[in-house]
Amino acid sequence: MGVFSARKACKFAPIFSLLYIFSTTIHVSCFQYEVGGKRGWIRPDGSEYETYNEWAQQHRFHVGDTLCTFNHFKYSNDSVLLVNNEDYTECAVNNPISKFEDGNTVFEFDHSGFYYFISGQPGHCQAGQKMIIWVMGAHHQSAISAPSPSPRGPTISQDGSEGRNADSWGPSQTNSTDTMPITSILLNLFMGVVIVLYLLMD
């Protein structure tokens, strides 16, 4: 039994080796953006050097099979509303798609397209606490190892349409999480089960 199992293990060792190599080369990378940088999600008071949309235009937001992207909102006595284009333009807070009030919101982008965020506090949206984010899909990705500013990318107007290019944005302040080898973990578990079952077979 022991000799036979050892022979079987040696016979299929190349297959297991290939599976292992494959599993260690596929990763899911996740990036988390701190909305507004150090100041967070607050009502503008006029002293800011950039608007929320200018901040958003400094980054590339992507979603795809091997990439996930999050927005981190930090705030107090405020809220984050995900709304449609019309409610964004009118600063309407009564019918949001989603509403967050925990003060430490992490929002995951699960599809490409435009996302519209406003504050739910009276007068905050009208004062400029609003933001449009354009999320690119997998077909826009090109060997991305980390998010980077897009000085030649499309600008976004207040109504969500793409405008002319901008070249004067500041440096990126993106924070990225560690690469998470989710596929690698699953494949390694699967390989372990297959090896054990195969060696136990008569």
Reply yes or no on whether the pLDDT at 92 is more than 60.
Answer: yes
Give me the number of domains the chain comprises: 2
> The dihedral of CA 113, 119, 120, 126: what is its sign?
negative
Domain coverage including residue 49: 29-180
Mean pLDDT of the chain: 72
Give the DSSP per-residue string, 144-184: -SS----TTS--B-TTS-B------------EEPPPB-HHH
Counted residue by residue, the chain has a size of 202
Residues 79 and 92 in one domain: yes
Residues 168 and 103 in one domain: yes
Residues 85 and 158 in one domain: yes
Residues 13 and 38 in one domain: no
Reply yes or no on whether the pLDDT at 29 is more than 90.
Answer: no
77-86, 126-135, 136-145, 157-166: the lowest-pLDDT one: 157-166
Reply yes or no on whether the pLDDT at 80 is more than 50.
Answer: yes
Residues 82 and 117 in one domain: yes
Global pTM exceeds 0.85: no
Residues 18 and 36 in one domain: no
- Name the residue with tokens 């990439």: 67
